[in-house]
Structure 1
Amino acid sequence: MKYRILTLFLLLSFIFYGQDQKKLDSLNQLVQQSKIDENWNALSEIYYSQAKSFYETEDYALALPLLLKIDSLSTTFGIKNSTSVLSILKRAEISKLTFTKESSQVSYSLGKQALKQAEEINSQEIIHSIYVKLADYCQLTKRYDEAKLYVDKGLKYYIDKNNGDEDKISRLYLIESAYYLEQNNPEKGEESRYKAVLYLEGKGNDLAMAKAKYYYGHYLRYDKKEYKKALIFLEDSKKLFQKTNNIEGDVFHRCLRDLAICYDALGNYKNSSNYYKDAYKLKIELNKKANRTVSRNLETQYETEKKKREIELLKSKNEIVEQQKKNQRNILLSAVGFTSITGLFLFFMFRNRQKTNTKLKELDDFKSKLFANISHEFRTPLTLISGPIDKRLHTLDLSEEDKNDFEMIQRNSNRLLNLVDQLLDLSKLESGHLKLKVAEGNLSVLLKSMASAFQHKALQKQIDYSINIEEIDKVWFDKDVIEKTVINLLSNAFKYTPEKGNIKYFAAVIGNKLELYVENDSNVLTKEQINNIFNRFYQADENTEGVGIGLSLVKEIVNLSYGSITVDNTSANTIVFKVYLPILKSQFKPEDLTETSIEIPVIEQKEFIVEKEKEQQPAIDENLPILLVVDDSEDIRAFIKSAFKNNYQVVEASDGEIGVEKAIALVPDIIVSDVMMPKLNGFQLSETLKKDERTCHIPIILLTAKTEDADRFIGLETGADDYITKPFKIKALETRVKNLISSRLKLRERYSQELILKPTDITISNFDAQFLEKVNTVIDKNIAEPSFSAEDFSKAVGMSRMQLHRKLKALTGLSATEFVRSQRLKLAADLLKKSDANVSEIGYAVGFNDHSYFAKCFKEMYGCSPSEFISKL
């Protein structure tokens, strides 16, 4: 008895007060005691309480192992009680979260298992609760008749009970509506949805009513196009959501979106725009929830570190006080040692002050480092670092593909490291800790090695990159200063130089000083821009990448090196930076010098040669799906291509305009596109392709590093199928591409099974429906013509033969020729069932002028000859 009371107390403590460490320790002790006592029922209840707590906070990865332990205990020891049944239901709900065909089937199987156990323990409340769940699972797995049985049982029980089960009753009415709509009975479907609204009248359950009115309003808007009537219910739903302060969920977001669509259809564009904006803002907030958790963790970490240092400071101050008391006692004990004791006291006080200052400095350094690390944009570099590393973690041998990946990692990690180094260098400059390390060496080799690092970028942008570096040996310089100066100036030049532009890099010794000269094509700078260009975080063009500290760093380290830097426009409409640095030993202070000479490996001249890339027209492999990657970053395209090239035919496009051209010409199976691109951005590309009959069926995934509301609102209604925010994991992209391809294949299977295509019976876009209607018309008109070829078919539809082939392949899995033959054979089979004509006559009627060829094709499709087919009827 005592043990049961302790168990109950600890479980209630766990549920109502959370999972702090002491209570977790107590629960662990209770788990161990239950195992020792072999009290498996108590152990199951403990596991279920923990799992339920994790489930309610959406920590499903932590809840699922506990639920599986309960299942193992139930199976091993024959435990059948409410805990074991509810545990199975929780697993079913977790499985349903992904809403895939496979996961819905798992939920259905688990629901049936839970129902069997609930019937064995004869718990009517649990049995009918399972009826509601099973009705939902049956709907997801297309078992509409079975779902209706559970709906009827559940409604009778809960309506008769009349005890606060409005949520379940409302849900059952909604599932009943889905059943009637599937049975092509829209009147009954509408009636069921309205029943939910009527039932909830006067019940006081505002949240359930808000959902019921939304679903009824959505039906009126989406299925019946009765926008005015839909507005009444949608507006009521919105007000009820606001009244219950439940305005952060997905249903409320969909309610706002439906309101926007209704107002748009009725011509009230002002209200439509406002609701679109509200819906978009709410969508952003839902996406930011996870990010807020990360931010809170970061703030907590900072506050923890801050408190630790405050404690250390307080401890230091206490040490000072204690030392003062000790010195005072010593003064009272001996007048003879007064002078020495006073000196000792002053020494300790000075030392402790130094300690306090050190702690304060550490706190300041920590804060500066923390906010420097989180205040700048590292999305794209992090994508190109984390992606290849994750992909290559378990690879032992370095193949050519691995080499390309690691080279990509190196380039982008260097870029990220350069940003961090700049922040640290600026911090050192401000604190006076950055010192020169001047040594003797061959400066021209260093300058040439840095010049070669930009050859890849020159090749990418087809820039005429000329290098003129004199031989400069046995001079004195700081290697770090030279590297930072040259790399930042060349990076700036390549950033602002347009494609097929010019960059000149010149270095020579003039008057006992090094002159570095970087000139590039660019827009002419105004006087204000020239005056501010070396200011920290200043950027002349807000649309370019960068954090605005590179030129500021160059200015400060050049000044530290006793040099100077200037910038100006030229008469040839170019921008030129000139840097002058000392190179003689006598021009530096003694403390700037180091005895170690600078050694730089000699590089071959061929590293400076830039060869133009030749774009090759991709050869299409019909056995692989075509993936079109549209991104202005060559590294991003190469990274995605390396991940998909074994299972997809990958085609690349360097900007949105080329992407649209290739999409129309090739009709790929899926498109992955960046958002920020020249000429056409990702939103414009998506909108263009989704409005084109030839490409409207293609799934589009947009990659974006932009998170501002204004930027993302533009693409809300462009028709993109998915969004992925940088930095992204390649596995996540692979999974989403696979899922979108799979969904299209399922749609293709549905089309291919239809005897006669009926686009109005299948959920597709308006453009696909129009296309299929056109195809039906062309086939009906020409199916009896033996000479009707794929070429004639494409002309009649208004597409090229390749476009028609790719479009039909995507929708039905058949080429144009195979599709025409398939439709002829389907019509022939239908005529064999219904007509009294002989086989030859039917063959001629559907366009086959060769009887043996007709019989052969028919047997290939149906597994028997036409005569055998008739005999089986």
Structure 2
Amino acid sequence: MRRLLFLCCLLSSCLMFSQEKEDSLQLELRKAKHDTSRVKILHQLAFTQANTSRDKARESMLKALDIALKTDNDQLKVTSYNHYSNFLRTQSMVDSSVVVSNLALSLAKEINFYKGQATAYSTLGGSYWEKGNFEKSKEYLEKCVALASEIDDKIQIGNAYNVLGAIHTQTIEYTKAMEYYTKAARIFKEAGATRRYILILGNIGFVYRSMDNLDGAERYLLEADSLAKAINDQAARAFSSYNLSIVYRKRGEFDKAIAANLNAISIYKRLGNRKRVAFGQYTMGKIYWEKEEFQQALGYYQQALEISISVDDSVNIGHTHQEIARCFHKLNKNQQAKEHLQKAKAVADGIALDVLSMEVHQSLSQIFAEEGNADAAYTNLLAYTELKDSIYTKEKRELASDIEAKYQNEQKTQEIALLESDKKLQALQLNKRVNERNGIIAFSIVILLLAALLYNQYRVKQKANRKLQELDRLKSSFFANISHEFRTPLTLIQGPIEQLEQHPEEQLSQDTVKMIRRNSNRVLKLVNQLLDLSQIDEGSLKLEPTEGDMFKCLRAACSSFNSHAAQRKIDYRVRIPQTTLWAAFDRDKLEKIAYNLLGNAFKFSEDGATVSFTASYGPPGLEMIVSDTGKGIPQEKLPFVFDRFYQVDGSSTRENEGSGIGLALSRDLVELMDGTITVSSILGKGTTFKIHLPVEEIKSGEDPFIEKPSEYQHEISGSSAFQTGTDERDIPAVLLVEDNTDMRYFIKEQLIKDFKIQEALDGQKGLEIAKAHAPDLVITDLMMPKMDGIELCKRLKTNLHTSHIPVIMLTAKAGQANKIKGLETGADDYLTKPFDAKELLVRTRNLIAQRKKLRERYSGKEKPIDPKEITVTSIDQRFLEQLLKMLEEHYADGAFGVPQMQQALAMSKSQLHRKTKALTDESPGELLRNFRLKRAAQLLAQKADTVTQIAYKVGFNDLSYFTKCFKERYGVVPSSY
């Protein structure tokens, strides 16, 4: 009840709005003094009345045509003819529409009125489409597109594309249909033709519905309904509601389906479109049939039948009789069911509707079988089988009939030829065989064509599925990239703030404040770009031109990169004329285009490369060229660089971060200014972007703008993160591998008090430093150029010289799967950005302390060597086992020392020293000496021999040195042990 009350209120408000507009137009009509104005107002009035009364709309159309024909204005006559023809087509009076359109076309050609010709071609194309003559429809529509393109009549081009989309929809070529509908939608949206845009959205929803993509259909139909509601287009709302009801019915959401269909029926009743009302009642019956509420379904089918009879819709009459019979059958009223089936059969026979006849015979066969009337059931089943065979093998039977006819002809000819000569008889027999062969070939071609059509339909569906999967992949990639883009600057903003919160008495350094400002500007830039893209999609981003000096604006924008170029030793060349180019332009959008393209050029250029910006003005407009000598873009990827969220290098080792929206935004802004942007690139030599903007110079004027620093200006910090020098403190060393300068500076500032910090810009450099200096711990980012964090961790943990070094991995990639992947490579800890700086410090201390405890545990005086207690890294365990086995074999050899250990283990002196020191807190010499002393203590405890003999047995050649070392370790001389 509430739903019905709401619908009533909504409809009454729409009626009031329509009436107000109609009254306003009537008032304007009475005030109009010229025939041209009166005709134009009558056309608007007819369009408004079409939402409430088709009869009134037709009356207004005829009145406008009558006024136009009485004038000497031939263009006005053509326009009126075209409006009336289009109105007739919407009323399903297609033949009359064709006649009127031809009158318009003939007169338009006489007076060379190209716009009138294009409109007539468009209407004729739509009319022949409704008549089912697709070839002729395409012919007229192609003429319309060609002529409308010459005169830049985008509305008629969009109308033609719409009908072409409808043609391909009916021929089940959904990919082509969507291509045309998309083109039409773009044209209507840019032109502000809201009603036509709504129509296209509804058609796209219909295509999705036909492809059983119910979610896509619902999305487009709801958008169309929302826009139609805003402008009170009742016909469009009825169309959307009717199709939504079918979508909901297919989903099994019957309540939604009923509400949507009731809304459509109500609107069609008010518009006087009884045929559409019948469709709505029929669909309502289908809904209740699927709900198995057969009595309710019967009621709606009977209403549909009554209206279909009144509008003489034979097809719907036949199908409705069939559905009513099915309801009576379910309600065990077989007599009434049979009566309606006979009526459906009569309609089907009258209009040669074989499919309906087949369904009628099938239903009759079932009813007679249930009643025990086997003869009648068999008769109808036989008729059903014959019709089914007739429908699905029609082409085959027609071909067979042709062959049979030819055969009969040949037989008669043969009889006549027998009287003439045997030679003619042989020729006729040969001709018969040739015809039979041709018939078989023709039949085979038909079969092959059908197979090709089915295969093509399958390929179309597969292609559509692949496109949807690619769209999902792009969305997922975008969210991953944008998350990474936000997490890094947020970490660099959040960290110092937390530090200040924990230690309010400590002030932030100037470098830290600048770092916070840089990263907050970076976040703001990302947000602004996303908002600009959103506004462009919605069509709400508009140009705000003001007069000013364009060259001065560009010089200011380009100067923002001077300090950045100087720091990186980049040859930055700016060629902008020193003259004044006074014009009306949108300063903000021009600056954004320049910033994005220059920022991109600097980002993908190596230090010492060349970046240039050139601006010039000619009569066509302003031309800008941005080029660099960077690594370039592969030719196969050039067509995609302006696509949103696309990145040429999508791997985790890409050289530069990015969200993939900068170039897309630049292109959209250029197109908003009616300009063009192109790109060319040679791999390894660089990339060039060319922008052309249609600008008209104003000869005089003054610049109202005051130069101000741009929000995109990049600050270069001289922070301590880039300082070099040697740290001589006796504290643990930490290797920091991070490509982001600010992040590296921030982490270093948190750890510098407790640890010596070594820095590396990428994973490859980090691996070299780790091998050369063996730090106590490595902190690495996951995504870095040249070698990512996962590969770095893997190489550290599988290298004998570095496998003992604990690793902490930092990343902006959140999620359990990414964490597990990092830990599987051997990382000892894993932190997600943004992270707590104090947490990083504590985890670093803990990991280094754990390694220290393991070494202390091993170095206990009486603790036997057990490699499994030193480290959990398998490569370290194998190294210790190999080392202990070697000591066990050679400890008695007095000549065996550190050089022999180096040779046996294939390690240099410094490598062996770092490895044993890290794992056991003992140098190789100390390890060998202590092993011999422990073995001597075991032998002394067992009284296996004299002290002198035991000293020689464990590899000591100097008895006094043995006694000294033994006393230092055990506190007593060997003889007293």
State the TM bucket, normalised to the shorter chain.
0.3 to 0.5
Structure number with bigger Rg: 2
TM-score, normalisation: structure 2: 0.43
